[in-house]
Amino acid sequence: MKPSDQSEPGIVRRRRGRGFSYEGPDGRPVSDRATLARIKALAIPPAWTDVWICTSPYGHLQAAGTDAAGRRQYRYHDIWREQQDRVKFDHVLDVAERLPAFRKAVDDQLQGRGLTRSRVLAAAARLLDIGFFRIGGESYDTYGLATLRMEHVTCANGIVTCSYQAKGDTSREVEVADPGVCAVLRSLKALGADGELLRYRHAGGWSDVRSEDINDYLRETIGYEVTAKDFRTWHATVLAAVGLAVSRPAGKEGPSRKKRAVTRVMREVAEYLGNTPTVARASYVDPRVVEAYDQDRTIAAVLTELGADADFGQLATAGTVERAVIDLIRSEVRTV
């Protein structure tokens, strides 16, 4: 494995009839079978333009191109991607270790008064933690936590209901039971203003909450480098661990039953996240949970305590179950 960069001379893709041809940096057609097989395996979408392909099979960046929306997209070497995924999931484990203290700090700030920055962002953090929200983005005009509008949210009996069009133009409805959050959002809706819901008061007036504000708050409160996506990744991993544990006693299942169980669990996780099962497994669920299940190791022993540590408005998986998932993955690391 070696570093590679699309500014280096590379292989160029040319449209030819219904397919493509490829030219090396010297302008000559690529005819080497191994190179052509590598390019085919990269599965570069036909719609990509301005395609660059690494000349070496060992480059960490194997290909790049521009999609139909004008965004630059990339294909990385499988080994490099696996290494990066391991770093990402190890980081998420470190975040998970800090969640109990983080949740206590959020609780304390929700008990404050007024629509201050800390109280409104604490409400946003709680929604993020137990509602599995995407953070949303102003640049891509997608609805998520930071871009929820007044009309997307209702509050009643301590329950917040959010209904909106999420990424991919899919309808999404999320219910979160939390009286503290409900109190903050009722106060915001009582302002009677149009536009985005989350805003806070400061000496100079009002400011809308942006995705950067939420990520800054998460880092400030948890005392660690963290983003909203880390929360979704962790919750997806915990849900998968619970789902696999309740499938059937792993030791009594053959390979085909285990494979079907994993497929079903990924569908369930995807439903919670608002993603596809493929994305849920590839980007959110720590693969070590599935690897442990394949070795007949799950968190089944602690599922009798599911919800035992959770008050109204808290995740049933908080506490003992989350700790068991951390220990399961840490033990998987030691056995590798």
What CATH fold (topology level) applies to the domain 11-76? Viral Topoisomerase I (3.30.66)
Q: Return the pLDDT at 192.
A: 80
Residue 235 has pLDDT above 70, yes or no: yes
| Sign of the torsion angle spanned by Cα atoms 34, 38, 43, 48 | negative
**CB 52 within 8 Å of CB 6:** yes
Question: Region 299-324: what's the mean pLDDT?
Answer: 73
Q: State the pLDDT confidence band at 72, using cuts at 50, 70 and 90.
A: very high
Question: Region 104-131: what's the mean pLDDT?
Answer: 94
Most trustworthy range by pLDDT among 140-144, 192-196, 235-239: 235-239
Q: Where are the alpha helices (DSSP H) in 98-227?
A: 99-110, 117-131, 179-189, 211-222
Question: Region 27-55: what's the mean pLDDT?
Answer: 96
Question: Region 270-299: what's the mean pLDDT?
Answer: 92
Q: Return the pLDDT at 336.
A: 47
Burial class, 326, CB count within 10 angstroms (exposed 0-12 / middle 13-18 / buried 19+):
buried
Token pair recorded at residue 271: 């439903």
Instruction: Put the strands of the sheet holding 11-16 in their side by side order.
Output: 19-23, 11-16, 49-53, 61-66, 72-76
CA distance 39 to 65: 13
Q: State the pLDDT confidence band at 52, using cuts at 50, 70 and 90.
A: very high
Top-level class of domain 103-223: alpha beta
More confident residue, 54 or 168: 54
CA distance 25 to 222: 49
Residue 139 has pLDDT above 70, yes or no: no
Domain 84-96+229-335 has CATH 1.10.132.120: yes
Q: Is 45 left (phi over 0), alpha (psi -120 to 50) or beta?
A: beta
**DSSP tag of 149:** B
Q: What percentage of the chain reaches a pLDDT higher than 90?
A: 68
Q: State the pLDDT confidence band at 27, using cuts at 50, 70 and 90.
A: very high
CA distance 135 to 229: 8
Mean pLDDT of the chain: 89
Neighbours of 293 (CB within 10 A): 24
Domain boundaries defined on the chain: 11-76, 84-96+229-335, 103-223
Question: Region 170-181: what's the mean pLDDT?
Answer: 87
Q: Helix (H) and strand (E) counts for the chain?
A: 11, 10
More confident residue, 275 or 138: 275
Q: Return the pLDDT at 37.
A: 97
DSSP string, 192-229: ---SBS-EEEETTEEEE--HHHHHHHHHHHHTS---HH
**DSSP tag of 30:** P
More confident residue, 141 or 336: 141
Q: Return the pLDDT at 254.
A: 78
Instruction: Dump pLDDT digits (tens) for 85-113.
Output: 899 999 999 999 999 999 999 999 999 99
Residue 141 has pLDDT above 80, yes or no: no
Q: State the pLDDT confidence band at 144, using cuts at 50, 70 and 90.
A: confident
Q: Return the pLDDT at 147.
A: 86
Q: Which residues contact 2 (CB under 8 A, 6 or more apart)?
A: 56, 58, 59, 60
Residue 316 has pLDDT above 80, yes or no: no
Question: Region 172-187: what's the mean pLDDT?
Answer: 91
CA distance 283 to 290: 14
